[in-house]
Structure 1
Amino acid sequence: MPSLNPSPDQLKRFAEAMPAGEPILMLNLLRFNQEAVYTAGSGETACSGMEAYARYSRTALKKVRAAGGEVQVAAHAQVALIAPEQEHWDEMLLVRYPTPEAFLAMLADEDYRAATVHRTAALADSRLIACTPRA
Protein backbone atom coordinates (compact mmCIF):
# COMPACT_ATOMS: atom_id res chain seq x y z
CA MET A 1 0.00 0.00 0.00
CA PRO A 2 1.43 3.41 -0.93
CA SER A 3 2.43 5.88 1.76
CA LEU A 4 1.64 9.40 0.62
CA ASN A 5 0.59 11.60 3.56
CA PRO A 6 1.20 11.40 7.31
CA SER A 7 -1.72 10.34 9.45
CA PRO A 8 -2.62 12.22 12.64
CA ASP A 9 -1.13 9.32 14.64
CA GLN A 10 2.12 9.48 12.67
CA LEU A 11 2.36 13.24 13.24
CA LYS A 12 1.72 12.74 16.96
CA ARG A 13 4.47 10.09 17.20
CA PHE A 14 6.84 12.39 15.29
CA ALA A 15 6.14 15.28 17.68
CA GLU A 16 6.70 13.04 20.72
CA ALA A 17 9.83 11.29 19.43
CA MET A 18 11.83 14.15 17.94
CA PRO A 19 14.02 16.28 20.22
CA ALA A 20 12.30 19.65 20.70
CA GLY A 21 14.23 22.72 19.66
CA GLU A 22 16.95 20.77 17.82
CA PRO A 23 17.77 20.71 14.08
CA ILE A 24 16.31 17.84 12.08
CA LEU A 25 16.80 16.33 8.64
CA MET A 26 13.90 14.92 6.66
CA LEU A 27 14.80 12.23 4.14
CA ASN A 28 12.25 12.12 1.31
CA LEU A 29 12.12 9.16 -1.10
CA LEU A 30 9.76 9.79 -4.01
CA ARG A 31 8.23 7.56 -6.67
CA PHE A 32 6.16 9.44 -9.23
CA ASN A 33 2.99 8.40 -11.02
CA GLN A 34 3.40 8.35 -14.79
CA GLU A 35 0.31 10.59 -14.94
CA ALA A 36 -0.78 12.70 -11.96
CA VAL A 37 -3.86 11.32 -10.19
CA TYR A 38 -6.08 14.24 -9.24
CA THR A 39 -9.46 13.63 -7.63
CA ALA A 40 -12.49 13.95 -9.89
CA GLY A 41 -13.73 17.50 -10.14
CA SER A 42 -10.50 19.02 -8.83
CA GLY A 43 -10.25 21.27 -11.88
CA GLU A 44 -6.56 20.50 -12.29
CA THR A 45 -5.19 20.04 -15.79
CA ALA A 46 -3.73 16.66 -16.72
CA CYS A 47 0.03 16.36 -16.36
CA SER A 48 2.75 13.92 -15.41
CA GLY A 49 3.47 13.04 -11.81
CA MET A 50 6.76 14.91 -12.05
CA GLU A 51 4.96 18.07 -13.27
CA ALA A 52 2.41 17.79 -10.45
CA TYR A 53 5.30 17.53 -7.98
CA ALA A 54 6.85 20.64 -9.55
CA ARG A 55 3.52 22.44 -8.94
CA TYR A 56 3.67 21.39 -5.29
CA SER A 57 7.34 22.35 -5.03
CA ARG A 58 6.74 25.95 -6.12
CA THR A 59 4.83 26.53 -2.87
CA ALA A 60 6.62 23.97 -0.69
CA LEU A 61 10.11 25.39 -1.25
CA LYS A 62 8.91 28.88 -0.27
CA LYS A 63 7.35 27.45 2.88
CA VAL A 64 10.46 25.40 3.72
CA ARG A 65 12.57 28.58 3.52
CA ALA A 66 10.01 30.58 5.52
CA ALA A 67 10.22 27.90 8.24
CA GLY A 68 14.00 28.35 8.36
CA GLY A 69 14.61 25.16 6.40
CA GLU A 70 16.80 24.39 3.44
CA VAL A 71 17.10 21.62 0.86
CA GLN A 72 20.50 20.06 1.55
CA VAL A 73 20.47 17.48 -1.27
CA ALA A 74 18.18 16.87 -4.23
CA ALA A 75 19.07 13.93 -6.48
CA HIS A 76 17.67 11.57 -9.08
CA ALA A 77 17.67 8.04 -7.70
CA GLN A 78 19.44 5.62 -10.02
CA VAL A 79 19.83 2.13 -8.52
CA ALA A 80 18.72 0.64 -5.21
CA LEU A 81 21.87 -1.33 -4.43
CA ILE A 82 20.67 -2.82 -1.13
CA ALA A 83 16.87 -3.02 -1.20
CA PRO A 84 14.12 -5.43 -2.14
CA GLU A 85 14.35 -6.23 -5.87
CA GLN A 86 11.06 -4.51 -6.73
CA GLU A 87 11.83 -1.32 -4.80
CA HIS A 88 12.79 1.74 -6.78
CA TRP A 89 12.65 5.51 -6.23
CA ASP A 90 12.73 8.37 -8.69
CA GLU A 91 14.10 11.14 -6.49
CA MET A 92 15.61 11.74 -3.08
CA LEU A 93 15.51 14.97 -1.09
CA LEU A 94 17.24 15.74 2.18
CA VAL A 95 15.74 18.81 3.85
CA ARG A 96 17.07 20.48 6.99
CA TYR A 97 14.69 22.24 9.39
CA PRO A 98 15.78 24.24 12.44
CA THR A 99 13.40 22.27 14.71
CA PRO A 100 10.62 19.70 14.56
CA GLU A 101 8.28 22.49 15.63
CA ALA A 102 9.21 24.53 12.53
CA PHE A 103 8.47 21.51 10.34
CA LEU A 104 5.07 20.92 11.98
CA ALA A 105 4.18 24.62 11.71
CA MET A 106 4.96 24.46 7.99
CA LEU A 107 2.65 21.44 7.59
CA ALA A 108 -0.15 23.41 9.28
CA ASP A 109 0.28 26.45 7.01
CA GLU A 110 -2.86 27.02 4.92
CA ASP A 111 -1.02 27.69 1.65
CA TYR A 112 1.23 24.68 2.16
CA ARG A 113 -1.78 22.44 2.87
CA ALA A 114 -3.50 23.65 -0.30
CA ALA A 115 -0.41 22.77 -2.35
CA THR A 116 -0.33 19.19 -1.06
CA VAL A 117 -3.09 18.25 -3.51
CA HIS A 118 -0.35 18.32 -6.15
CA ARG A 119 2.03 16.21 -4.05
CA THR A 120 -0.66 13.59 -3.46
CA ALA A 121 -1.55 13.52 -7.17
CA ALA A 122 2.12 13.29 -8.15
CA LEU A 123 3.25 10.36 -6.04
CA ALA A 124 2.78 6.63 -6.45
CA ASP A 125 4.65 6.08 -3.17
CA SER A 126 6.94 7.94 -0.80
CA ARG A 127 8.88 7.75 2.42
CA LEU A 128 9.53 10.59 4.84
CA ILE A 129 12.09 9.68 7.47
CA ALA A 130 12.89 12.08 10.32
CA CYS A 131 16.57 12.13 11.29
CA THR A 132 18.76 14.02 13.72
CA PRO A 133 22.22 15.17 12.64
CA ARG A 134 25.20 13.71 14.43
CA ALA A 135 27.30 16.11 16.44
Structure 2
Amino acid sequence: MKTIYPTSRAISDVLSKTQKGKPVVMLNLLKFREQADYHEPRAGVSGRDAYQEYGRGAIRCIHAVGGELIWSGTPTGTLIGPEEEQWDEVLLVRYPSLDAFLAMIDSPEYKSIVHHRTAAIDDSRLVPMLES
Protein backbone atom coordinates (compact mmCIF):
# COMPACT_ATOMS: atom_id res chain seq x y z
CA MET A 1 0.00 0.00 0.00
CA LYS A 2 1.39 3.39 -0.99
CA THR A 3 1.54 5.97 1.77
CA ILE A 4 2.43 9.65 1.77
CA TYR A 5 0.82 11.05 4.94
CA PRO A 6 0.65 9.72 8.50
CA THR A 7 -2.72 8.66 9.85
CA SER A 8 -4.03 10.15 13.08
CA ARG A 9 -3.83 6.64 14.58
CA ALA A 10 -0.14 6.37 13.67
CA ILE A 11 0.58 9.79 15.17
CA SER A 12 -1.20 8.86 18.41
CA ASP A 13 0.67 5.56 18.56
CA VAL A 14 4.06 7.20 18.03
CA LEU A 15 3.30 9.93 20.58
CA SER A 16 2.43 7.30 23.19
CA LYS A 17 5.64 5.31 22.57
CA THR A 18 8.17 8.14 22.27
CA GLN A 19 9.74 9.53 25.42
CA LYS A 20 9.33 13.30 25.77
CA GLY A 21 12.48 15.37 25.39
CA LYS A 22 14.58 12.57 23.89
CA PRO A 23 16.34 13.06 20.55
CA VAL A 24 14.59 11.28 17.71
CA VAL A 25 15.99 10.27 14.33
CA MET A 26 13.54 10.03 11.45
CA LEU A 27 14.24 7.38 8.82
CA ASN A 28 12.79 8.61 5.50
CA LEU A 29 12.33 6.12 2.64
CA LEU A 30 11.23 7.89 -0.53
CA LYS A 31 9.92 6.79 -3.93
CA PHE A 32 9.48 9.64 -6.41
CA ARG A 33 6.84 10.06 -9.10
CA GLU A 34 8.15 10.12 -12.66
CA GLN A 35 6.42 13.48 -13.12
CA ALA A 36 5.56 15.77 -10.22
CA ASP A 37 1.82 16.07 -9.58
CA TYR A 38 1.08 19.72 -8.82
CA HIS A 39 -2.55 19.47 -10.03
CA GLU A 40 -1.69 22.05 -12.68
CA PRO A 41 0.63 21.62 -15.67
CA ARG A 42 4.35 22.00 -14.93
CA ALA A 43 6.08 20.53 -17.95
CA GLY A 44 9.35 18.75 -17.31
CA VAL A 45 9.22 18.77 -13.49
CA SER A 46 10.09 15.31 -12.20
CA GLY A 47 9.23 14.01 -8.76
CA ARG A 48 12.91 14.23 -7.86
CA ASP A 49 13.00 17.89 -9.01
CA ALA A 50 9.94 18.70 -6.88
CA TYR A 51 11.50 16.96 -3.87
CA GLN A 52 14.71 18.96 -4.29
CA GLU A 53 12.60 22.13 -4.18
CA TYR A 54 10.92 20.85 -1.02
CA GLY A 55 14.32 19.94 0.45
CA ARG A 56 15.70 23.47 0.07
CA GLY A 57 12.91 24.81 2.25
CA ALA A 58 12.70 21.79 4.55
CA ILE A 59 16.34 22.06 5.61
CA ARG A 60 15.69 25.60 6.86
CA CYS A 61 12.69 24.34 8.81
CA ILE A 62 14.71 21.46 10.25
CA HIS A 63 17.48 23.80 11.39
CA ALA A 64 14.94 26.26 12.84
CA VAL A 65 13.82 23.62 15.40
CA GLY A 66 17.35 22.47 16.19
CA GLY A 67 17.37 19.48 13.85
CA GLU A 68 19.96 18.31 11.36
CA LEU A 69 20.20 16.12 8.28
CA ILE A 70 22.68 13.46 9.35
CA TRP A 71 22.73 11.24 6.25
CA SER A 72 21.19 10.93 2.81
CA GLY A 73 21.86 8.54 -0.02
CA THR A 74 20.59 6.46 -2.90
CA PRO A 75 19.82 2.78 -2.22
CA THR A 76 21.24 0.22 -4.61
CA GLY A 77 18.52 -2.35 -3.92
CA THR A 78 16.88 -4.34 -1.14
CA LEU A 79 18.56 -7.37 0.41
CA ILE A 80 15.81 -8.12 2.94
CA GLY A 81 12.29 -6.92 2.24
CA PRO A 82 9.57 -7.07 -0.37
CA GLU A 83 11.07 -6.99 -3.88
CA GLU A 84 8.45 -4.47 -4.99
CA GLU A 85 9.57 -1.97 -2.33
CA GLN A 86 12.37 -0.11 -4.05
CA TRP A 87 13.34 3.34 -2.77
CA ASP A 88 14.87 6.26 -4.66
CA GLU A 89 16.31 8.09 -1.65
CA VAL A 90 16.90 7.49 2.05
CA LEU A 91 17.44 10.23 4.66
CA LEU A 92 18.17 10.28 8.37
CA VAL A 93 17.15 13.49 10.13
CA ARG A 94 17.82 14.06 13.83
CA TYR A 95 15.49 16.27 15.87
CA PRO A 96 16.05 17.30 19.50
CA SER A 97 12.66 15.70 20.31
CA LEU A 98 9.46 14.50 18.72
CA ASP A 99 7.89 17.78 19.88
CA ALA A 100 10.48 19.67 17.80
CA PHE A 101 9.50 17.62 14.74
CA LEU A 102 5.80 18.27 15.37
CA ALA A 103 6.47 22.00 15.82
CA MET A 104 8.31 22.02 12.52
CA ILE A 105 5.51 20.40 10.51
CA ASP A 106 3.03 22.79 12.11
CA SER A 107 5.08 25.90 11.25
CA PRO A 108 3.84 28.35 8.60
CA GLU A 109 7.14 28.06 6.70
CA TYR A 110 6.85 24.27 6.48
CA LYS A 111 3.21 24.44 5.48
CA SER A 112 4.19 26.80 2.64
CA ILE A 113 6.55 24.20 1.08
CA VAL A 114 4.98 20.82 1.85
CA HIS A 115 3.03 20.90 -1.45
CA HIS A 116 6.33 20.21 -3.23
CA ARG A 117 6.73 17.01 -1.19
CA THR A 118 3.16 15.98 -1.98
CA ALA A 119 3.78 16.58 -5.70
CA ALA A 120 7.04 14.64 -5.59
CA ILE A 121 6.28 11.49 -3.61
CA ASP A 122 4.75 8.33 -5.03
CA ASP A 123 5.35 6.30 -1.85
CA SER A 124 7.18 6.80 1.42
CA ARG A 125 7.92 5.55 4.90
CA LEU A 126 8.75 7.74 7.91
CA VAL A 127 10.04 5.83 10.92
CA PRO A 128 10.84 7.71 14.15
CA MET A 129 13.62 6.07 16.15
CA LEU A 130 15.05 6.73 19.60
CA GLU A 131 18.81 6.59 19.87
CA SER A 132 20.16 3.76 22.06
**How would you bin the TM-score normalised by the shorter chain?**
over 0.9
Choose from 99, 102, 105 the match for 1:101: 99
Distance 1:99 1:36 in 2: 31
Counterpart among 13, 19, 42 of residue 45 in structure 1:
42
Q: How does 1:47-62 map to 2 (within 5 A)?
A: 47-62=45-60
Q: Give the TM-score normalised by structure 1.
A: 0.91
Deviation at 1:7, TM superposition (A): 2.6
RMSD: 1.3
Provide Cα deviations, 1:42-80, integer angstroms capped at 9, x if missing partner. Answer: xx7340000000111111000001110011110011111
- Amino acid aligned to 2:42: T
SS in 2 for 1:20: coil
Shift of 1:9: 2.9
Alignment length (residue pairs): 131
1:13 is displaced (CA, Å) by 2.3
CA deviation vs aligned residue, 1:23-60 (integer Å, no higher than 9, x gap): 010000000001001124xxx73400000001111110
The equivalences for 1:70-89 within 5 A come to 70-89=68-87
Task: Give the match for residue 27 of structure 1.
Answer: 27
Letter in 2 for 1:27: L
Once superposed, which parts of structure 1, at least 4 consecutive aligned residues long, lie more than 4 Å away?
A: none
> Which ranges in structure 1 are unaligned for 5 or more consecutive residues?
none
Q: Deviations over 1:76-100 (max 9, x none)?
A: 1111111112110000000000011
Alignment match, 2:17: 17
> What SS class does the counterpart of residue 15 from structure 1 fall into?
helix
Is 1:2 equivalent to 2:6 in the alignment?
Answer: no
Give aligned-pair identity as a percent: 40
Query: Hey, what's the Cα distance between the residues in 1 that align with 2:12 and 2:112?
Result: 21
**Structure 2 stretches of 5 or more lacking a match?**
none
Q: Secondary structure at the match of 1:131?
A: strand
- The equivalent of 1:119 in structure 2 is 117
